[in-house]
A and B are shown apart, each in its own frame.
Chain A
Amino acid sequence: MLKKQHIKTGSNEPSKNSFSEKEKEFLDLICDFLVDDIFKKLENAKKEGDRLCEDQ
């Protein structure tokens, strides 16, 4: 059975900023997604709020 493994880094326990280019790209992509997602939700909340305020 396969053991739990980290995303491959080229070393057993990588220190900070010792990631490979590919790995860094992958982590950046996840961050981008998270930031995109959260800010989209916040923007939508603002839009919805504006609409509610107008209705009031």
Chain B
Amino acid sequence: MQKKKVIGYARISNEDQSHFLIEGQQEEFEEYCFKHNYELLYTFTDEGQSAKDFDRREWKQLEQYLKINYKEVDYLLVMKYDRFSRNVQQALNVIAQLEEEYNIKILSIAEPIGLPPESPFYFQLRTQVLRQAHVERLIIKDRTLFGMQKAKKDGRYLGQAPYGYKNGRDYDKKPTLEVIPHEADIVRKMFNWYLDGYTQAEIKRMAEPLGFTKKGNACIFRILSRKVYIGLVKIPAYKDEPEKYINGIHQPLVDDKTFYRVQALINRKNQAKSQYNDIAYLKSVLICPKCFKPLTCGKSKDRNKYYWYYECTTHRKSHSIEVAHEKFNDILSEISFSHSQLEYMKEEFRRKSEIRHKENKDRLPDIPYVVQLLYIKWKILKKSTF
């Protein structure tokens, strides 16, 4: 009698809490085949790959292999169904494809169902096993998310360290960010250069000779807008808790004042790009309370007139401009400065203006220059009028 031919599929993921090793699974395949007198043609192994879907490197190779050699294969061997998939819906589709298109059955070594695969109860039992694997994945996912959320709430930055830092471990061997001094210097310089009026492209060109190697047009923007540089850690929305930032345990590279001045400058430049609208004059000034993106404006029309509104492009939540303007005016009417505050600002303004004037004397016009400029403008005007 001709030996049945099988291929094996072994998998282990990073987060998996099963105790299977790839080598262990391979040994089991060999032992099983020897015991049942099967011929093991090949074993595909996916290491560090999740079973949430079939987008796995070696699984794709396996599919390619079966496309060509399916006539030679009788069984696909797995250690357990959770090695095969932890997604019931996709798993059933793939099983149907293997069985109907290629006439290949799946055998699970550790879960011998003990019924002929044609039996309806076989389908029921296998679905139960797959459902269990699916539930385990959801539990693992939930536990991982909870653990990450907890670590973030402790002020730990998870994930790949941003430029200026490297991933490290503290005394408790828990993840933290460690400063890379020369990269940190470059980051600080970038913030200061931006405040000095250099564009992001110029900053990139200036930083490259200092050892900055990041590629892409948006790399400077990403650095300038990351709150991790002022020591904050982002806690993403989780269940009922909204997204928020908290103080991290890592060392900040930039002070708050510099950072927020840079953000204001970036926002102002973005606003300048967006077209000013006379009617919806708070366009790009108002921000969405959920995602903090600037609101845009739009209008809808009925038979008689247009109705203007502000809208968040992400959440599609619109607000009437009349109501928004009224509330905005209410806020403005409630703000005033005390005499001492005004005095302080006057002094500060004078002091800062003097410093700025001294620093940028060459780039600023003096009185004779302004007179000359006005004279030229007057000449141009005269020419065009008469």
CB distance from A48 to the nearest CB of B (A): 8
Contact, CB under 8 Å: A42 / B261: no
Given A7-B335, A45-B365, A53-B376: A32 touches B261 (CB 8 Å cut-off) = yes
CB nearest to A16 among chain B residues: B340
User: Which residues of A from 21 to 43 have beta carbons under 8 Å from B?
Assistant: 23, 25, 27-36, 38-39, 42-43
Cβ–Cβ < 8 Å partners of B341 in chain A: 6-7, 9, 14, 19, 23, 27
Contact, CB under 8 Å: B336 / A27: no
B125-147 contact mask (Cβ, 8 Å, vs A): 1 or 0 = 00000000000000000000000
A48-B352 Cα distance, complex, nearest whole Å: 24
A15-B377 Cα distance, complex, nearest whole Å: 47
Name the prevailing secondary structure of the B interface residues.
Answer: helix
Interface residue? B53 (CB, 8 A) = no
CB distance from A5 to the nearest CB of B (A): 6
A-B contact count (CB 8 A): 91
Interface residue? B360 (CB, 8 A) = yes
Interface residue? B334 (CB, 8 A) = yes
A33-B345 Cα distance, complex, nearest whole Å: 12
B305-339 contact mask (Cβ, 8 Å, vs A): 1 or 0 = 00000000000000000000000001001111110
Q: How many residues of A contact B (CB 8 A)?
A: 37
CB nearest to B257 among chain A residues: A25
A30-B288 Cα distance, complex, nearest whole Å: 23
Cβ–Cβ < 8 Å partners of B353 in chain A: 35, 38-39
Contact, CB under 8 Å: A46 / B369: yes
Contact, CB under 8 Å: A9 / B338: yes
A30-B360 Cα distance, complex, nearest whole Å: 20
User: Which residues of B from 154 to 183 have beta carbons under 8 Å from A?
Assistant: none
Contact, CB under 8 Å: A5 / B334: yes
Interface residue? B198 (CB, 8 A) = no
Given A4-B334, A7-B335, A7-B337: A35 touches B365 (CB 8 Å cut-off) = no
Contact, CB under 8 Å: B365 / A27: no
CB distance from A22 to the nearest CB of B (A): 11
Cβ–Cβ < 8 Å partners of A45 in chain B: 365, 370, 373
CB nearest to B374 among chain A residues: A49
Contact, CB under 8 Å: B344 / A27: yes
Cβ–Cβ < 8 Å partners of B301 in chain A: none
Contact, CB under 8 Å: B344 / A52: no
A39-B356 Cα distance, complex, nearest whole Å: 8
Cβ–Cβ < 8 Å partners of A18 in chain B: 340
B348-381 contact mask (Cβ, 8 Å, vs A): 1 or 0 = 1100110010001001110001101100110110
Interface residue? B264 (CB, 8 A) = yes
Interface residue? B343 (CB, 8 A) = yes
Could you list some 10 contacts between A and B, CB below 8 A? Answer: A5-B335, A6-B338, A7-B338, A14-B340, A15-B340, A23-B341, A29-B257, A31-B352, A46-B364, A49-B369
Spell out B's residues near A (CB within 8 Å): 257, 260-261, 264-265, 330, 333-338, 340-341, 343-345, 348-349, 352-353, 356, 360, 363-365, 369-370, 372-373, 376-377, 379-380
Given contacts A19-B341, A29-B260, A45-B370, could you give 6 more A-B pairs where the C-beta distance is less than 8 Å?
Answer: A9-B338, A31-B345, A39-B356, A43-B360, A52-B377, A53-B372
The 6 closest A-B pairs by CB, nearest first: A49-B373, A31-B348, A46-B365, A6-B338, A35-B352, A31-B349
